[in-house]
C-alpha cells in the first residue's frame, strides 16, 4: 500500500484498525526519506532510530488497548525555526548550528506529540526564515520536487518539499509574509495561514515577528490541514494575541453543504506584475470555478500601492530587535548577506517609521473589511511569478525583479486568514497556487471556500523517480 498517497485521517484509521502498525508506518516513510531526501534536501537533521523506538512504544500501547491519540504512529517533520525535543534548532544559521539539543517542544510540536505523532527530523528553512527561497549558509538549498533545478519557495520550503514528495504526511511551518502559502503553491499542495492569534505563539521570550507571523501545519490537502489545525488552534494565556474559538471542529464543518460562494477576484491586487504562465493558469481556474457556480466579481484594484516597503520596515525592525545584540559576534559577518542587510536597516529605522507602517496595515484592513461586506472571500494568484532556479535571480516574465511573490505579505499585515490551493500546472511544469483570503477571524469561511475550490480544481503530486 502506498501510504504517502492517502490522507492523514485514512492513515490514522489504518493504524487504529491495526492494519498498519506504527513501526511499519515509520519504516515506510523513513525509507522514502532515505531514498528521496538526498536529492531534495528537505530534511537537515533526522533521527529515525528514535522515531522507531517511539513507534514500538505506540504499538505496545495499542496491543494493550491503551489510548495513543488521534495521530498515534504518524511521522512528521518540524521546521527548523521551532523546537522539537532532542533536535538542535539551528534556524538555518551558523549562529545557532552548534546549539544544544532542545529540551522541550514548541506548542505545535507538543500538541501533535500528545496525539501520538512522531517527529522524525527538522526541515530546512532560509536563515531565520527571512526570505521566500529555502537555502542557507549552513545546509544549502532545498529543491522543488516538480523540478529539482528550482526552489520550493520559502520559508517553510523544507516542509512543503517533504510533504509534496511523500516523505512525511505533514510538517510544521510558519507564515510571516507568505511562508506557508508560497512553498505550498510552489510544491502543488494546499495550505492555510490562520488569523493572527488562532494558533498561539508560546515562548519564554518575546517572539520575533509578533504582529505578522503565525505558526501552522502543512499537509497535502485543506481537509488534512483543518484536521491538524483543530489540534493546535486554541487560546493560550501566555500569548496575549491568542484568540478564542467556537467549539466546532473545522475539519468536520468542511463537510457541511455550502450555499453559493461569492468571491472578488484580483489578478494583481492593483500593483503586482504577474508572470504570463501564472496568469494563464489562474484564468483557467477562474473559468472552472465560475462554471461550477462560484459567483466571481472582478476587481481592477484592491490596494493603491505595493506595501512591500512598509512590510520591510516592520520585518527589518523585528530582525534588529532579535539579532541586533548578535552583531558583535564574529560569526555575524557569515550570515546571509540579505539578512544582515535587513538587521542593519532595522537598526537605522525609527519607531515612527515602524508605527506608520503599522498604520498602513490598519488602513489596508479597512479596505478589506468593506470588501467582505459584499463577498465571502477574495481570490488572487498566490505568487506573482514561478519559483526561481536554485541560486538564480528572481524572475517574472523573464525579467529580474525585487520580489517574485508580491501577493502574500499584504495579508500578514492585515492579519487576515489566507489559504492556497493548486490552481493547475504551468507550461514549465511547476504548480501555480490560487490564494483565498477572508476577513480577520473568518478562518472557517476561508477553509470552507478553499476546500470547495480544491475539490473543483483537483489535487496533484509530482512523479518522483
Pick the range with the lowest mean pLDDT from 239-243, 262-266, 301-305, 444-448: 239-243
Three-class SS of residue 183? helix
* Spatial contact of 410 and 404, defined as CB atoms under 8 Å apart: no
- Which residues, listed in sequence order, are joined to residue 217 by a DSSP beta bridge? 172
Please state the rounded mean pLDDT for residues 431-447: 98
Question: What CATH number did the domain enclosing 164 receive?
Answer: 3.90.1300.10
Q: Is residue 445 part of a domain?
A: yes
Position 465 pLDDT exceeds 80: no
pLDDT band at 255 (very low <50, low <70, confident <90, very high): confident
Higher pLDDT, 100 or 248: 100
Domain count, the chain: 1
Of 170, 179, 165, nearest in space to 42 by CA? 165
Task: Show which residues are catalytic.
Answer: 79, 155, 179
In a domain, 464, yes or no: no
Whether 55 is covered by a domain: the verdict is yes
Q: Which domain holds residue 308?
A: 3-457
Has residue 390 been placed in a domain? yes
Please provide the distance, in angstroms rounded to a whole number, between the alpha carbons at the two ends of the chain.
18
Contacts of residues 333-340 at CB distance under 8 Å and 24 or more positions apart, as own/partner, are: 334/94, 334/137, 335/93, 335/94, 335/95, 335/127, 335/137, 336/126, 336/127, 336/130, 336/131, 336/136, 336/137, 338/130, 338/131, 339/127, 339/128, 339/130, 339/131
Radius of gyration of the chain (CA): 21
Mean pLDDT, residues 431-450 taken together: 98
- 162-192: per-residue pLDDT in tens? 999 999 999 999 999 999 999 999 999 999 9
415 found inside a domain: yes
Separation of alpha carbons 258 and 168, rounded Å: 31
For residue range 111-158, what is the model confidence (pLDDT) as tens digits? 999 999 999 999 999 999 999 999 999 999 999 999 999 999 999 999
Is residue 295, in this structure, part of any structural domain at all?
A: yes
Please check whether residue 462 lies inside any domain of the structure. Answer: no
Is 205 domain-assigned?
yes
Amino acid at each position: 500500500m502506498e501510504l504517502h498517497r492517502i490522507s492523514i485521517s485514512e492513515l490514522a484509521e489504518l493504524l487504529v484498525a491495526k492494519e498498519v502498525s506504527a513501526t511499519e508506518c515509520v519504516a515506510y516513510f523513513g525509507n522514502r526519506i532515505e531514498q528521496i531526501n538526498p536529492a531534495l534536501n528537505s530534511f537537515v537533521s533526522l533521527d529515525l532510530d528514535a522515531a522507531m523506538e517511539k513507534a514500538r512504544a505506540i504499538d505496545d500501547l495499542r496491543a494493550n488497548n491503551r489510548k495513543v491519540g488521534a495521530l498515534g504512529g504518524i511521522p512528521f517533520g518540524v521546521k527548523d525555526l521551532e523546537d522539537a525535543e532532542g533536535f538542535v534548532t539551528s534556524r538555518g544559521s551558523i549562529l545557532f548550528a552548534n546549539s544544544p539539543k532542545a529540551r522541550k517542544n514548541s506548542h505545535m510540536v507538543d500538541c501533535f506529540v500528545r496525539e501520538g505523532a512522531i517527529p522524525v527530523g527538522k526541515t530546512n528553512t532560509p536563515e531565520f526564515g527571512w526570505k521566500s527561497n529555502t537555502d542557507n549558509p549552513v545546509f544549502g538549498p532545498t529543491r522543488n520536487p516538480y523540478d529539482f533545478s528550482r526552489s520550493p519557495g520559502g520559508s517553510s520550503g523544507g516542509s512543503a518539499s517533504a510533504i509534496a514528495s511523500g516523505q512525511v504526511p505533514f510538517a510544521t511551518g510558519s507564515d510571516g509574509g507568505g511562508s506557508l502559502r508560497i512553498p505550498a503553491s510552489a510544491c502543488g499542495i494546499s495550505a492555510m495561514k490562520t488569523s493572527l492569534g488562532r494558533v498561539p505563539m508560546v515562548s519564554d521570550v518575546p517572539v520575533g515577528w509578533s504582529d505578522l507571523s503565525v505558526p501552522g501545519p502543512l499537509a497535502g490537502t485543506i481537509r488534512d490541514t483543518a484536521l491538524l489545525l483543530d489540534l493546535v488552534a486554541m487560546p493560550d494565556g501566555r500569548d496575549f494575541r491568542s484568540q478564542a474559538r467556537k467549539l466546532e471542529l473545522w475539519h468536520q464543518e468542511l463537510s457541511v453543504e455550502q450555499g453559493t460562494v461569492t468571491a472578488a477576484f484580483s489578478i494583481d491586487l492593483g500593483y503586482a506584475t504577474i508572470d504570463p504562465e501564472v496568469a494563464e493558469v489562474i484564468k483557467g481556474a477562474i473559468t472552472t470555478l465560475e462554471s461550477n457556480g462560484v459567483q466571481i466579481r472582478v476587481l481592477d484594484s484592491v490596494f493603491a500601492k505595493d506595501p512591500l516597503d512598509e512590510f520591510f520596515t516592520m520585518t527589518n525592525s523585528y530582525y534588529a530587535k532579535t539579532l541586533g545584540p548578535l552583531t558583535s559576534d564574529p560569526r555575524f559577518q557569515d550570515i546571509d548577506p540579505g539578512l544582515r542587510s535587513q538587521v542593519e536597516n532595522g537598526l537605522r529605522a525609527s519607531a515612527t517609521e515602524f508605527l506608520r507602517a503599522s498604520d498602513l496595515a490598519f488602513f489596508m484592513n479597512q479596505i478589506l473589511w468593506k470588501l467582505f461586506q459584499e463577498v465571502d472571500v477574495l481570490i488572487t494568484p498566490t505568487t506573482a511569478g514561478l519559483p526561481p532556479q536554485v541560486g538564480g535571480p528572481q524572475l517574472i516574465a523573464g525579467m529580474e525583479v525585487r520580489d517574485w511573490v508580491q501577493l502574500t505579505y499584504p495579508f500578514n499585515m492585515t492579519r487576515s486568514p489566507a489559504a492556497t490551493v493548486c490552481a493547475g500546472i504551468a507550461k514549465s511544469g511547476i504548480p501555480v497556487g490560487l490564494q483565498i483570503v477572508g476577513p480577520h477571524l473568518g478562518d472557517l469561511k476561508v477553509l470552507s471556500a478553499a476546500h470547495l475550490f480544491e475539490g473543483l480544481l483537483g489535487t496533484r503530486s509530482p512523479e518522483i523517480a
